[in-house]
Chains A and B, each alone.
Chain A
Amino acid sequence: MSARRDRFQAWLLLAPMLAIMLGVTAYPIARTVWLSFTDAGLSGDSSWVGLANYGDALSNPDYQDAFARTLYFTGISVSLEIVLGVLVGLLLNERFPGRAFVRALMVLPWALPTIVNAMMWRLILNPQYGSLNALLTQLGLLAKYRSWLGDPASAMNMVILADVWKNYSLVALIVLAALQTIPQDLYEAARLDGAGAWTRFWRITLPGILGPLSVALVLRLIEAFKVFDIIYVMTRGGPADGTKTVSFYVYEESFTYLRAGSGAAYAVTVACVSGLLIATYILQLRRQGRA
């Protein structure tokens, strides 16, 4: 009897929050899904069109290209962020003079607003007076100043560079926190057994940080797949669509071409991929909880 009352009371106390979550999260998602089956514009009447929007979206060759591009962006930028993040995390875990200062400095890229970061990189990459051109020509690596964001061969990689610079520090922070939970006596015992630095990394350090690192990996994958703002500011999707990712289609369909219905269909396809990644994330968190 009392257990039942407890449960009732628990639900009663949770109800307001549940209602808010339903209103703020579930309703917009449900409405987006509903919209995606209609030919709704940004205003006015709409009628049911079934799966037509999805057919159009998935058979659009430009969208398929954008999908491949998004995977490229996600794969390369997240891989680099993980590798750099681990290396920097390891470095900052060592004792050296000025460590506190460097640790504080590392938070800076992550704390910068994406828009500010994008503007900063646009200046660095400016073909006329950008510092990247100056650096490379002064080092003798580049014969003359060139355009980085106007050349389809380099534009996407430059956007990736800007994204990695901003986001590796999140990975480094998580790695640093995880490193501090590894007991020092493990290392001492390994040293006594004659294990070298390399073996200690693979046998002690990596297993010790693998849990938090995989959470960071999935979080970054989710973020990277829905990338929009940094690209919108740096290249607006150009040159010749060379940096146009899937989120651009959601935005353009809805707000530039005023087709809320097919915009919603694009949004749902992006959300499905994010959903898969999020499911992986939750599984990963649960596995960690059990470990």
Chain B
Amino acid sequence: MQPWMMPGWMGAGVLLFAVAQPAAADTTLNALFMKQAAYSDDDIKSMTADFEKSHPGLRVTLELVPFEALHDKIVATNGAGAEGYDVVLFDVTWPAEFAKHGFLKDVTDRIPADLVGQVFDGAWSTVTTGERRWGMPWILDTKYLFYNKAMLAKAGIAAPPRTWAELADDAQRIKDKGIVPYPIVWSWSQAEALVVDYSAITAAYGGGYGENGKFAFDQGAPLAALTYMKSTLDRGLSNPNSTEYLEEDVRTVFSNGDAAFALNWTFMYGLANDPKESKIVGQVGIVPAPGIEGKAAVSAPNGSMGLGIAAHSAHADEAWSYIQYLTSRPVQDKYAKLSLPIWKASYDDPAIARGQEDLIAAARLALPELSPRPVTASYQELSAILQKALQQALLGQATPEAALHRATDAAARLR
């Protein structure tokens, strides 16, 4: 062989090696999840380990971020192309925006038609815009009303409240008897959690954020909801620290026995009954969030989340098999303590209900009634406007009317 031929020959060898490499090596999926409510970090890691075991050659790199960082992370890594995420967890409020900007792959054709009827409608609405689906629903969640059975018994309250007015009355009774200084605790920090609580109460008052695509928060149900929220603070029924709390803080306060009532996601039921995490094991009651006399039997804000394939993923098929695995009934049934399955049939399975009968009973009533937050492709911005207005009213910087009037004006200027 002539010396000048060497580089070419070697180049060909390298090329061969490079082509042969992917087949032999593992495919690595990058997946983005959240570290807040629903499935715990350990749950997600262990599901993923099981998936890797049953799918040789596939590996998943997990990244867990707080909910508050999830949206911006998905958006910012879109520019990274195939180097970004393959699988992302997304919130019920984002598909309109993500579809508009093409952040997710359309998976409508990947979902078999016979699957549709087996999953709750509220779960599907989490991943759907118009006729297109952008992922599989994974976390089917709503906020429930948690109550401390011992405190209610001590106050002589026979049954948990069924309406928001009853909740305030019961809280007043508990406060008057000196059982706990602030009977209700909420996640009313300047964050999405605040909008969830607000939308839950708004839906109970009859819902409706305006007509013809124009938002109107300063009248009817949206105004009544905020007025109610503020009144519970003014009467000393709600913990004043609520305005800096997120869901995790609500859980600590409730599990510490410092509140009689709390609105929170499913995950709190398991943790408030875990002796390592809670001082009130065995005292945890759960019912659907209350309704309004003559208007709604329950409140059930849709807080579901879906798993989608990032638009630039180079491993769409592998990503889909991972999503299929995580959302499959056996996997969801196995981890049904902190987050409940999307599958209707799971709720008739005594194995799922065992040890959490109250939760399943509440879920059966709430899940068919899931109500949305305001729907718009500019949801992030609308939510920021609402968060500020709601906090201004709750902190006494403006009346509910004035705050929501400003929010309505600001929403009208959204591009």
Interface residues of A (CB under 8 A from B): 41-44, 127-128, 146-147, 149-152, 235-241, 251-252, 255-258
**B388 in contact with A149 (CB, 8 Å):** no
Task: Please name 6 further chain A to chain B contacts, defined as beta carbons within 8 Å, in addition to the given A42-B79, A256-B71, sorted by A numbering.
Answer: A127-B244, A128-B249, A128-B258, A150-B243, A240-B392, A258-B101
B240 within 8 A of A: yes
**B244 in contact with A256 (CB, 8 Å):** no
Which secondary structure dominates chain B's binding surface? helix
With the chains together, A239 CA to B388 CA distance in Å? 8
B391 within 8 A of A: yes
**A240 in contact with B190 (CB, 8 Å):** yes
Query: Quick one: which of A235, A239, A240, A241 has the most chain B CB within 10 A?
Result: A240
Residues of B169-190 contacting chain A, CB below 8 A: 189-190
Q: Which partner residue on chain A sits nearest B389 by CB separation?
A: A240
Closest 8 CB pairs of A and B: A150-B244, A238-B190, A240-B391, A127-B241, A150-B243, A147-B241, A255-B72, A240-B392
- Can you name 19 A-B residue pairings with CB atoms under 8 Å? A43-B101, A44-B101, A127-B241, A127-B244, A128-B249, A128-B252, A128-B253, A150-B189, A150-B240, A150-B244, A151-B244, A236-B191, A239-B190, A239-B243, A239-B244, A239-B395, A255-B75, A255-B76, A257-B380
With the chains together, A238 CA to B102 CA distance in Å? 31
**B79 in contact with A241 (CB, 8 Å):** no
Residues of B388-403 contacting chain A, CB below 8 A: 388, 391-392, 395, 397
Kindly supply a per-residue 1/0 record for chain B positions 48-76, scoring 1 wherever the CB is within 8 Å of any chain A CB and 0 otherwise: 00000000000000000000100110011
**B243 in contact with A43 (CB, 8 Å):** no
Least CB distance from B78 to A in Å reads: 7
With the chains together, A252 CA to B189 CA distance in Å? 18
**B381 in contact with A256 (CB, 8 Å):** yes
Known: A236-B68, A239-B391, A240-B388. A147 touches B191 (CB 8 A): no
**Chain A residues in 8 Å Cβ range of B242:** 150
Q: How many residues of B contact A (CB 8 A)?
A: 34
**Chain A residues in 8 Å Cβ range of B101:** 41-44, 258
With the chains together, A42 CA to B103 CA distance in Å? 11
**Chain B residues in 8 Å Cβ range of A239:** 189-190, 243-244, 391, 395
With the chains together, A127 CA to B245 CA distance in Å? 10
Query: Quick one: which of A44, A128, A235, A239 has the most chain B CB within 10 A?
Result: A239
**Chain A residues in 8 Å Cβ range of B387:** 238
Question: B240 is contacted by which of A44, A147, A236, A258 (Cβ under 8 Å)?
Answer: A147
Least CB distance from A49 to B in Å reads: 12
Question: B384 is contacted by which of A44, A149, A152, A256 (Cβ under 8 Å)?
Answer: A256
Kindly supply a per-residue 1/0 record for chain B positions 220-252, scoring 1 wherever the CB is within 8 Å of any chain A CB and 0 otherwise: 000000000000000000001111110001001
**B190 in contact with A236 (CB, 8 Å):** yes
Known: A128-B241, A147-B243, A252-B384. A240 touches B76 (CB 8 A): no
Q: Which partner residue on chain B sits nearest A152 by CB separation?
A: B395
**Chain B residues in 8 Å Cβ range of A237:** 190
Q: Which partner residue on chain B sits nearest A127 by CB separation?
A: B241
B378 within 8 A of A: yes
**Chain A residues in 8 Å Cβ range of B244:** 127, 147, 149-151, 235, 238-239
B256 within 8 A of A: yes
Query: Quick one: which of A150, A238, A257 has the most chain B CB within 10 A?
Result: A150
**Chain A residues in 8 Å Cβ range of B249:** 128
Question: A241 is contacted by which of B102, B245, B256, B388 (Cβ under 8 Å)?
Answer: B388
**Chain B residues in 8 Å Cβ range of A241:** 190, 388, 391
With the chains together, A121 CA to B191 CA distance in Å? 20
**Chain A residues in 8 Å Cβ range of B241:** 127-128, 147, 150
With the chains together, A239 CA to B194 CA distance in Å? 12
With the chains together, A41 CA to B102 CA distance in Å? 12
**B75 in contact with A258 (CB, 8 Å):** yes
Kindly supply a per-residue 1/0 record for chain B positions 77-107, scoring 1 wherever the CB is within 8 Å of any chain A CB and 0 otherwise: 0110000000000000000010001100000
**A257 in contact with B395 (CB, 8 Å):** no
**Chain B residues in 8 Å Cβ range of A238:** 189-191, 244, 387, 391
Residues of B256-290 contacting chain A, CB below 8 A: 256, 258
**Chain A residues in 8 Å Cβ range of B256:** 128
With the chains together, A256 CA to B387 CA distance in Å? 14
**A152 in contact with B397 (CB, 8 Å):** yes
With the chains together, A147 CA to B244 CA distance in Å? 8
